[in-house]
Structure 1
Amino acid sequence: MTIFWITGIVTCLVLATLLYFVAKRRHSILGDPLPQTTTAASDRLATRAVTGAVIVTILLLFVMLISSFITSRRLGHMHDQDAMTIEVYGHQWWWEIHYPYPKEPYREVITANELHVPVGTLIRIEGTSNDVIHSFWAPNLNGKRDLLPGYTNDLMFLVDKPGIWRGQCAEFCGLQHAHMSFFTIAESKENFNRWMEAQRQSAADPKTEQTRHGQQVFLTHSCVLCHAIGGTTAGSHVGPDLTHLATRSTIAAGTLPNTIGNLAGWILNAQSIKPGCRMPPNQLSGSDLQDLLAYMETLR
């Protein structure tokens, strides 16, 4: 922000000076040019102005240099502190997010395309890729880190106020690179803890005939080959974990809002929405699709 305000003010001053002299000399284009006269006093004034501008420039550059040094040092010290570790895996073209719990692995949380963090807590992102090179970029929080297959890179940041910020893959990774986004959701520690506890729960058992049939549609069609739903026999992690799908704001890595209509179109023919993605078309009858959608609405 220091660099932003310094460069912003300097830019405004330069443009204001330019506009002033353009306005002052505008009549020279239509009439006779102004006489060019110099005196010893004007030379001294010009010399002082140039000298002053050079001195101010040097001082501002030193201010930016010192500010950058202080910021870099603070970021470096983050690695010496305890931090919440979140694992991020890049896929073509979506983000798999793990909240590990080494002491009690069964308490691990797995989600997709939404990074929930508590305000005021130091976060360490440990990222890698499961296919090609991706780049995890949350521009409002910190710089980007390339995610390389077979390697793990880390990124540290701390969010100081609640909010939602969009992130993006910043390394070209194929046809749908532009549609590989995620959202960082910062909330109070109390709300974050409630979210974590809810995410640790298995999916609720279907309570109506329609949702029970919808669950069977899910478990007997190709959905079960790629997705997991906690509390059911679906345990594949080729695609996003769907245990709490209905709580997410978007589908297809930020491509569409998470609505019933969009979800129906995505299930039937994802290729028409995101060509080249790994989601195959699904041939379902109208009644099977409606029951499946009703079941997926319960995944909260």
Structure 2
Amino acid sequence: MTGGWQSALAPGGSSADAILRLFWPTVALLGLIWLAVLLVLAAALLRRARPEAPRRAGAVVGAATAGTVLVVIGLTLASYLVTRPISAAADAPLIVQLRGLQWWWQATYPEEGEASGFVTANELHLPLGRPVRLELSAEDVIHSFWVPNLAGKQDMIPGRDNALTFTPTVPGVYRAQCAEFCGLQHARMALLVVVEPPEEFARWRAVQAAPATAEALAAEGRQVFERQPCGACHTVRGTGAAGRTGPDLTHLASRGTLAAGLLPMTRGALAAWIADPQTLKPGNNMPLVPLSADELQALTAWLASLR
């Protein structure tokens, strides 16, 4: 689960399907207009000037202007009719608070009924067939959330909350992307969206809401983690680490990727990231923490067990 499918032409959600139904007629209509313009241009180049040309040219221009107005009105109306239901409120949606930062994603699942709330990062899990309401915000600069297979783009602006509502209809792993230039590592700000059956989603949610496992917490790597300043930025529930600057690491190893889609979630990738994060993703906010080879080995073994 390191890549994720990404295509607006393969809808896996209600919003993306509606957008695609608008897309193809628009392409066909504009293609016909383009061909008509080429034909008129060719005719104008081939014909010799005639006395009646100015009158005919005026008629052609007038007809083209009227046609343009009608096309613009028609496309505007079609766009309104198709996109209006997309933002309509849904009954009993799953609410997820998604926040964009330079250059990663924080996802908060609020408490719902008997299900506890929790915070995770760089990966969304959504139940198949249930409406989802993403409450979008930005911490630092303007970001834009876009998962082409499921829904359209929505900006994330500091100080302004936006929302995106859709229903996943096809299970799979999809890739979301920041679609607004947000700084040096904009292109490396990806998010995996996992659409799965409701029962699998419920199991995943229960695991994510729990603290890190006792076996993992007993490892030597936990001692390294707590000796170093890692807890000043990161949270691992069940330890004293409660930082909020960086991603929540409680179930880090359960995610498909590391560093917002930059690396696969493997022990080797964890070691490379911890050893020199600035070389892999220049400009990110994670500092270089000096570790001995033994400390790095123990720390990565512990982090790799946090499922």
TM-score range, shorter chain: 0.7 to 0.9
The whole-number CA distance in structure 2 between the counterparts of 1:283 and 1:254 is: 24
Aligned to 2:25: 6
More displaced, 95-104 or 115-124?
95-104
Q: CA deviation at 1:99?
A: 0.3
Q: CA deviation at 1:156?
A: 1.6
The 5 Å alignment of 1:1-300 reads: 1-10=20-29, 64=75, 67-76=78-87, 78-79=88-89, 81-101=91-111, 107-130=116-139, 132-140=140-148, 141-149=151-159, 151-206=160-215, 212-300=219-307
Q: Deviations over 1:132-168 (max 9, x none)?
A: 223232242122122314x322222222111222222
The whole-number CA distance in structure 2 between the counterparts of 1:72 and 1:19 is: 32
Q: CA deviation at 1:199?
A: 0.7
| Structure 1 residue matching 2:165: 3-state secondary structure | strand
The answer for unaligned runs of 5 or more in structure 2 is 1-19, 40-45, 49-62
Aligned residues of 1:146 and 1:171 also touching (Cα < 8 A): no
Aligned residues of 1:99 and 1:108 also touching (Cα < 8 A): yes
| Structure 1 residue matching 2:194: 3-state secondary structure | strand
Partner amino acid for 2:193?
A: T
Q: Deviations over 1:7-57 (max 9, x none)?
A: 44456667889999xxxxxxxxxxxx999xxxxxxxxxxxxxxx9x99999
Change (3 A) 1:166 1:8: same
Q: CA deviation at 1:246?
A: 0.6
The whole-number CA distance in structure 1 between the counterparts of 2:295 and 2:255 is: 23
Q: CA deviation at 1:173?
A: 2.6
Aligned to 1:27: none
Aligned residues of 2:96 and 2:132 also touching (Cα < 8 A): yes
The whole-number CA distance in structure 2 between the counterparts of 1:75 and 1:62 is: 21
| Structure 1 residue matching 2:223: 3-state secondary structure | helix
The whole-number CA distance in structure 1 between the counterparts of 2:131 and 2:228 is: 42
The answer for unaligned runs of 5 or more in structure 1 is 21-32, 36-50
The whole-number CA distance in structure 2 between the counterparts of 1:161 and 1:255 is: 25
Partner amino acid for 1:271?
A: Q
The whole-number CA distance in structure 2 between the counterparts of 1:163 and 1:54 is: 46
Aligned residues of 2:212 and 2:251 also touching (Cα < 8 A): yes
Change (3 A) 1:11 1:123: same
Partner amino acid for 2:143?
A: S
Q: Deviations over 1:158-204 (max 9, x none)?
A: 22111222222233332222222212221111111111111112111
Change (3 A) 1:292 1:178: same
The whole-number CA distance in structure 2 between the counterparts of 1:174 and 1:60 is: 38
Q: CA deviation at 1:289?
A: 1.1
| Structure 2 residue matching 1:115: 3-state secondary structure | strand
Change (3 A) 1:297 1:19: same
The whole-number CA distance in structure 2 between the counterparts of 1:205 and 1:190 is: 25
Q: Deviations over 1:259-290 (max 9, x none)?
A: 22221111011011111111111211111111
Percent of aligned positions that are identical: 37
More relative contact order in 1 or in 2 (CA 8 Å, sep 6+)?
A: 2
Computed over aligned residues only, the root mean square deviation of the Cα atoms, in angstroms, reads 3.6
| Structure 2 residue matching 1:206: 3-state secondary structure | helix
Rg larger for: 1
More displaced, 95-104 or 156-165?
95-104
Aligned residues of 2:142 and 2:182 also touching (Cα < 8 A): yes
Aligned residues of 1:2 and 1:67 also touching (Cα < 8 A): no
State TM-score, norm by structure 1.
Answer: 0.77
The whole-number CA distance in structure 2 between the counterparts of 1:241 and 1:34 is: 70
The whole-number CA distance in structure 1 between the counterparts of 2:68 and 2:203 is: 51
| Structure 2 residue matching 1:278: 3-state secondary structure | coil
Aligned residues of 1:90 and 1:147 also touching (Cα < 8 A): no
The whole-number CA distance in structure 2 between the counterparts of 1:116 and 1:161 is: 13
Q: Deviations over 1:196-250 (max 9, x none)?
A: 1111121112369xx6211111111121221111111212121111111111111
Aligned residues of 1:169 and 1:178 also touching (Cα < 8 A): yes
